[in-house]
Amino acid sequence: MSCRTAILISGSGTNLQAFIDRVASGDLDLELSIVFSNRPDAFGLERARKAGIPTECIEHGKYPSREMFDRAVAAILDVYEPELIILAGFMRILSPWFVAHYEGRILNIHPALLPKYPGLDTHQRVLDAKDEWHGSTVHFVTPELDAGPRILQGRLRVDPNESAEELQHRVQAIEHQIYPEAAGLVGSGKVAFHDGQTLIDGDMSDKPVLRTFE
């Protein structure tokens, strides 16, 4: 049975589209059960509708606290009994309550080689630091932002002459490959979260799987 998966978005949803395409092509065994957005105008909702995936939206501004919003989101998601929660450009910091509710079942992708560059504006920061490598990281979500145990990283060599925008595009292309791959590993049980760590085939792994791209 495929792993029931909820995808949470706030924006354009190119990562969501990568999941949709991989599932449609038959090489990703997830059931995309629900796409949730906190913004009604998120283009990703269109992508989901076009693919025949149920969509739900509630706006965070209508809730008095972060946790009350998160509890409302979980009440919606839980109708679909998700086994995996994919954050795909979901621009909300999650409450400790939400993270505990789905402990070890939430994945995020962050456009940097974590633990380097948590937070925003990663591409410009990489260029400013003249780093040789940049990329993106899929990790389990823990209460601390961008700090959960890593699963898979995709990296590329930085061209010192490229703009932050060009670098962002190249990193996004990597994300579209590594995020479905990492979710498939978790969905199939090959990779799991245990005691705050990533297990690969049952063994603790403090290093993520690393893929290098041209």
Catalytic, 134? Answer no
Residues in contact with 43: Cβ distance below 8 Å, sequence separation at least 6, in sequence order: 11, 12, 13
Asked if residue 71 lies in contact with residue 86, where contact means CB atoms within 8 angstroms, the answer is: no
Kindly state whether residue 88 participates in binding ligand GRF, applying the rule CB under 6 A.
yes
Kindly state whether residue 106 participates in binding ligand GRF, applying the rule CB under 6 A.
no
Asked if residue 42 lies in contact with residue 122, where contact means CB atoms within 8 angstroms, the answer is: no
Instruction: Report DSSP state, residue 103.
Output: T
Per-residue contact flags (x/-) with ligand GRF for residues 16 to 35, judged by CB under 6 A: x-------------------
Asked if residue 95 lies in contact with residue 116, where contact means CB atoms within 8 angstroms, the answer is: no
- 82, 104, 111, 135: which one contacts ligand GRF (CB under 6 A)? 111
22/110 with CB nearer ligand GRF: 110
CB of 63 to ligand GRF, least distance (A): 22
Kindly state whether residue 154 participates in binding ligand GRF, applying the rule CB under 6 A.
no
Q: Which stretch binds ligand GRF (CB under 6 A): 13-21, 26-34, 184-192, 196-204?
A: 13-21
Residue of this chain nearest to ligand GRF (CB atom): 89
Kindly state whether residue 89 participates in binding ligand GRF, applying the rule CB under 6 A.
yes
Kindly state whether residue 181 participates in binding ligand GRF, applying the rule CB under 6 A.
no
User: How far is it, in rounded angstroms, from Cα 88 to Cα 136?
Assistant: 13
User: How far is it, in rounded angstroms, from Cα 75 to Cα 67?
Assistant: 12
Kindly state whether residue 12 participates in binding ligand GRF, applying the rule CB under 6 A.
yes
Three-state secondary-structure class, residue 62: helix
